[in-house]
Amino acid sequence: MTKVGFGVLTMNSGLAIYRAREDAASVLFVVGSYLLLLLLFAYLRTYERSPPGSPLRERARRAVWQLTTLLTVGFA
């Protein structure tokens, strides 16, 4: 199911980039949002797979908060 979701996200982002190809700011926004979402899900997966209390889990938690904040600010 996750792969299907990423496939839909990728196709939707590609279509948005194609439609906004004349507007550099819109293309940059879509590409940036897409990359932030990919990073967010990668860090979420790291967080979920790390043992509780490990330094890796703590770093992933901090990265998730930062990426979520960046996405929120970007979409606001």
13-69 per-position pLDDT tens digit: 999 999 998 999 999 999 999 999 999 999 999 999 999 999 999 999 999 999 999
CB neighbour list of residue 27: distance below 8 Å, 6 or more residues apart: 17, 20, 21
Closest CA to 37 of 6, 2, 61: 6
What is this structure's pTM? 0.84
Q: Give the model's pLDDT for residue 6.
A: 87
